Structure 1
């Protein structure tokens, strides 16, 4: 399991991430677990280091008939018992979405069934990766994307990497990588570049299977967590219709999230597209997006023209051209802004592209939902299960408004519609609320990835989030592997509500 978000253990708060494995014993117990934790707030509260590795863990869980579940995991750190509450929804017997669900923090992630006893030789091949977190200041965002090729002994034979350190990418672009990725429980990795101030980064690695690896940083250089996905045979930039997911901080250090559709010719151009954005509660559409791309090895330089990506002046959004480093994998590509905010502004953004293989989702079915974002309380993470019937929906949801918990609330009657291009809307206008609730309704734009999966962008003015819905018990052709890469890049901050009702940062 893995999840990341915002922790308030020390009364101030910081980014945190948890990654590890547990055994579900079938009768409500997590046993034989090992996890790593990156958590400056927790480390400060315990007067300890900020990275905790190889912690034995155990816990409990309960799963209801609709696939929703709750639980907890506990570890001992320097004699202090530390517990994380969990809330999740299963979408198959091998995958689910998970959130942290306690009064000390909130975050989102994934739970995946692991393949047992992977041989080192099974990892031979190429991977693209994307990691996010904070640098050694524990305040400034740090993200990296890249690609590497492994031999049968786990040694990196070729690779490239880009960094974005608090929006700065100067001298941090297209750097050669050396190092290793070794299997184990957990495995380990060293990634070495010439990036000033970084040098060799150390990670623990949990392999879900030979196509999907999870990384968490274990040194004090930074505190990042993320995914590496197989790119063997898929290092070329994808062609055809693509779904875009972006998030980050705007020029006023406020959070934003964006989604869209792009049409790629695979070699040189984004021929058409559109983008929707929610920037601090200001919602807009960029209806005419074009772009260019240039590839060298596993790295593509992607420029998108006419998109919203963090320019906000006097509550007015501005569209411009932005350049990203893109590293393709089987089913999509990792993205990281690589232009220092279009050369004149200090923007921070990143995300993913997903190959779109369908423009509608299956009707009259059960779906799991996970959204992660911000509102006036700070980080917010939601889990839900709903069933569609025609164009209407109903079900239950849980929400963590940075420690203010909503459990088993009714979504009310919702509705959705999808256009022929796979873009549509999904809303629950009359959700059940309690004293811990922050919003009484959920409105979103959706983008279909395949017949069982869609990206969601919340379009409410008092809360913004990004996430997914996925068919429960989908076919093997679903976008399950890529789902864990849909993570907002603004969970490192603690937003508060401004006078005009949108989310601003409090540092």
Structure 2
């Protein structure tokens, strides 16, 4: 309680002192009054006043008035005041309370009663248990709070330490087939701790991901459907001390699980000058991931006439995928069984060639995007197609799908007769991933690959019969400034003499109207030349570019990165693809799926080749290829070499039975164009790095 202050009057003074009662404190004041002696009054005795004050305080305390509960005398200490505690181990703390009969305390960690899993827990008896996994901040506060006076706290500083760990993983490396499981087991010894648990990750991602594979809390790894670009590493990290871990490299191989779902395929054989050589076929197939093609349809055309139906020709079949991504599939329909060889780039795309005595076709296989099938076809596309019209024929152009109608324009080269700017009108109906279209009275079937890719197949019995691919076109207005460094190739046939023809090239531009630094390689019936590529160009707002120079071309740009090409000269009919070219690389390594097609130099024997080629250090080549020469179908190993120059053009050779010189044009480290620089064969095509996360 507070002290009593006696009233002060004129001629008086106070003297104050302090006393303690009931463990509390109060202040009292002695008051002295002074009165003139002549008036007869003496000062009051100070001891009387003090006695009265004490009696008053005792009376108030006894009656409960102004009763004091302050605890200024409570004190608390903790032992030990500092501690170093290893993860998942314990430390006993004790607290001593004085100044009160209530010696109970409340234990806290970082201000939280009982602590938590992040910073550690503490029992009601003061037993602190450090977390198994150390927090980011490894210093925590253990507090004892006096229950007699919660303002009185004692604190101990705890430094969390990671224990020494010995950790190993078994197996130390593994080779895993696509989609297959692999169990990993850790062996962990932790000094001063019983926490032998680990956290699993794949390439640094806890639990892994779809690209590199996943792993669960027990160490069961599940491989992805195809290899990624980077190496795969499984890691077990000690929970007691995350500085300790053990890793195992995983070598991922392709397998039957690499093909799982619905795919679109397309293959074609180029025409010759007599008009008897063309053939093409496209459709869908459903792979079950276990070697069976459970359903599918296809449509096609050739010199023998079209094979199609209102909903396509049904098919089933089987397939097998080897560890290197090479495989075979047999498609069976009403016309019989047809064997194909393929080389997978990933579980979503690959290169394909026919591998039987039918037409020597080559092309691709692509995973069909279900979302694109549901959405249907809409917007502008640029297309490139080739085939026959009583001789070699090719066309490029633009088509816009809107509602049920199609409008557009095309450029064609039929037997060396070039026609530009022909209007295209028509209609289309899409049912699932397959549709039909009428374009200027020609009948087409199309297959949706994804939102930006279609396969177009003319199924007429006569006239212009062509097939190929269409690519969704960017909505950005085009200009000459968008055409920069590029690599491209075209293939086809000379207008006369049945001679096969192929050209590969690269160029820079001034982003205005002129080519710069253009080089090319041409193989025309076995005659190989390397003329400079020079000339001028224009690019219209709709993406149509016209190149005039040493050779003449029409390019329709789908985007700044890709376009379709038609050679508009009168001596050859050839079409192909253009790619924006990266710069600044002079060496590449890795495995690539490739396919080339053409014929012998006389044009009498079509040929197609696909396989896997590995580029190692210093440009050495190795791999395996499947070769279809119509009369023979062989699988054989290959070796070779290449040397890359600063502009991305490379020269080298591939030895497989015999040595064939090749020119290579690198679009990027993940893709390159191939052209045989050989007097005996005219082959061209492309190679793509085998990786699930590459962008082509």
The two structures have a TM-score, normalised by structure 2, of 0.44
**Could you say if the C-alpha distance between residues 207 and 486 of structure 1 is closer, same or farther in structure 2, counting changes exceeding 3 Å?**
closer
Q: 2:377 is matched with which residue: 238, 249, 262?
A: 238
Q: 2:562 is matched with which residue: 453, 460, 468?
A: 453
**Could you say if the C-alpha distance between residues 337 and 287 of structure 1 is closer, same or farther in structure 2, counting changes exceeding 3 Å?**
closer
- Give the match's secondary structure for 2:387: strand
Separation in 1, partners of 2:555, 2:528 = 26
Q: How is 1:14-25 mapped onto 2 (pairs within 5 angstroms)?
A: none
Once the two structures are superposed, what CA deviation does each residue of 1:343-366 show, in whole Å capped at 9, x if it has no partner?
xx5x53212221112553765842
User: How much does 1:487 deviate?
Assistant: 8.8
Separation in 1, partners of 2:292, 2:356 = 20
Separation in 2, partners of 1:363, 1:262 = 21
Q: Work out the number of aligned pairs and report it.
A: 330
**Could you say if the C-alpha distance between residues 224 and 454 of structure 1 is closer, same or farther in structure 2, counting changes exceeding 3 Å?**
closer
Once the two structures are superposed, what CA deviation does each residue of 1:426-477 show, in whole Å capped at 9, x if it has no partner?
22x2xxxxxxxxxxx2112210011111211122223332122211129xxx
Check conservation: 1:187, 1:205, Cα contact below 8 A.
yes
Separation in 2, partners of 1:492, 1:235 = 43
The two structures have a TM-score, normalised by structure 1, of 0.59
Q: Tell me, which stretches of 5 or more residues in structure 2 are unaligned?
A: 1-228, 231-250, 584-593, 605-696
Separation in 1, partners of 2:377, 2:485 = 30
Q: How is 1:429-448 mapped onto 2 (pairs within 5 angstroms)?
A: 429=549, 441-448=550-557
Q: How is 1:66-215 mapped onto 2 (pairs within 5 angstroms)?
A: 117-133=253-269, 140-166=277-303, 168-170=305-307, 174-184=312-322, 185=324, 186-195=326-335, 199-215=336-352
User: Given the alignment of the two structures, is residue 372 of structure 1 paired with residue 491 of structure 2, yes or no?
Assistant: yes
User: How much does 1:147 deviate?
Assistant: 0.6
Check conservation: 1:371, 1:467, Cα contact below 8 A.
yes
Where does residue 439 of structure 2 map in the other structure? 304
Where does residue 120 of structure 2 map in the other structure? none
Where does residue 110 of structure 2 map in the other structure? none
User: How much does 1:128 deviate?
Assistant: 0.8
Separation in 2, partners of 1:492, 1:268 = 45
User: How much does 1:298 deviate?
Assistant: 2.2
Separation in 2, partners of 1:189, 1:492 = 31
Check conservation: 2:384, 2:565, Cα contact below 8 A.
no
Check conservation: 1:166, 1:348, Cα contact below 8 A.
no
Once the two structures are superposed, what CA deviation does each residue of 1:284-306 show, in whole Å capped at 9, x if it has no partner?
2354211111222322111102x
- Give the match's secondary structure for 1:289: strand
User: How much does 1:152 deviate?
Assistant: 2.5
Q: Which has the larger Rg?
A: 2
Check conservation: 2:503, 2:523, Cα contact below 8 A.
yes
Where does residue 405 of structure 1 map in the other structure? 528
User: Given the alignment of the two structures, is residue 349 of structure 1 paired with residue 466 of structure 2, yes or no?
Assistant: yes
Where does residue 268 of structure 1 map in the other structure? 404
User: Given the alignment of the two structures, is residue 393 of structure 1 paired with residue 502 of structure 2, yes or no?
Assistant: no
Higher relative contact order, chain-length normalized (CA < 8 Å, sep 6+): 1
Q: 1:228 is matched with which residue: 345, 361, 365?
A: 365
Where does residue 328 of structure 1 map in the other structure? 448
Separation in 1, partners of 2:565, 2:598 = 12
Separation in 2, partners of 1:122, 1:424 = 39
Check conservation: 2:278, 2:388, Cα contact below 8 A.
no
Check conservation: 2:276, 2:391, Cα contact below 8 A.
no
User: Given the alignment of the two structures, is residue 249 of structure 1 paired with residue 249 of structure 2, yes or no?
Assistant: no
Separation in 2, partners of 1:364, 1:247 = 24
**Could you say if the C-alpha distance between residues 291 and 134 of structure 1 is closer, same or farther in structure 2, counting changes exceeding 3 Å?**
closer
- Give the match's secondary structure for 1:169: coil
Where does residue 381 of structure 1 map in the other structure? 502
